[in-house]
A = this chain, B = another copy of it.
Amino acid sequence: MAYASEDIIEALKKGRGAKGLSQRALSARTGVPQSHISKIESGNADIRLSSLIELARALDLEVRLVPRKALPAVDSVVRSITPAVPATERYRSAVKELQRSLDAVDKLRLSFPDLNALNKIQENLRTIGNFKTIDNYLDSIKRVTQPLSALQKIADNQRRIDEAVRMPAQRLKEIEEAANRAQALRNLLVHAAPSSEPRRAYRLDDDDDDDHHQEVGDD
């Protein structure tokens, strides 16, 4: 593959990393096989445009043709909007833990569709994910994940022995406490954020924010 494509592929790979997704997670989101994603990222496949767009969009990226003359300006805009993800191990662990929680929420929602605490946890975790300082709160995030994982194991066991999936009262209480802890952590981060930190600059999720509000480059 020509070096020319390498920059795009590298951007794709970094985009996946920035969202804390594994190749298998991205595969699950897009339907593109993990083995193919590996091939693509290793430069061993000359991906088609439709596939590039699909993968990019799963990472909140869009393909654009930019006039060469506009490259310096465009690259500057992109850099200003793409926060440098702290490369520390602890930050990566926090992102992973956050993703674990979100994954657990998604799975539990299948078994307990009416459990509002799950929505509360999800919303708060998504907001929490916007902050670069989450590495300081890895333990707090784990205390949200743990009750979710515990309940998931119970649900899996019940499903495996063909038993109706029920919610033990004690577990429900723990989930609600986890939701409250997530809310408290969110509030802590929101109020602790220095005014220079670009809020909403970088997000884990891709729900429908109001895109009409242009944050940079207004004319």
Contact = CB atoms under 8 A, between A and B. Distances in A.
9 smallest beta-carbon distances between A and B, as pairs: A73-B217, A72-B214, A11-B65, A70-B81, A73-B216, A61-B65, A4-B53, A60-B68, A73-B77
A45 to B, nearest CB: 9
A49 interface: yes
A31 to B, nearest CB: 13
B5 A50 contact: yes
A57 B3 CA distance: 13
Q: How many copies does the complex hold?
A: 2
A65 B214 contact: no
A78 B66 contact: yes
Contacts of A44: none
Size class of the A contact interface (CB-based, 8 Å): 35 or more
A11 B97 CA distance: 41
Contacts of A139: none
A15 interface: yes
Nearest to A40: B49
A101 to B, nearest CB: 23
A46 B56 contact: no
Interface in A15-56: 15, 46-50, 52-54, 56
A205 to B, nearest CB: 12
A8 B49 contact: yes
Contacts of A65: 8, 11-12, 15, 56, 61-64
Contacts of A68: 60-62, 206, 211
A74 interface: yes
B50 A46 contact: yes
A197 interface: no
A218 B79 CA distance: 12
B78 A74 contact: yes
A82 interface: yes
A73 B214 contact: yes
A160 interface: no
A65 B58 CA distance: 12
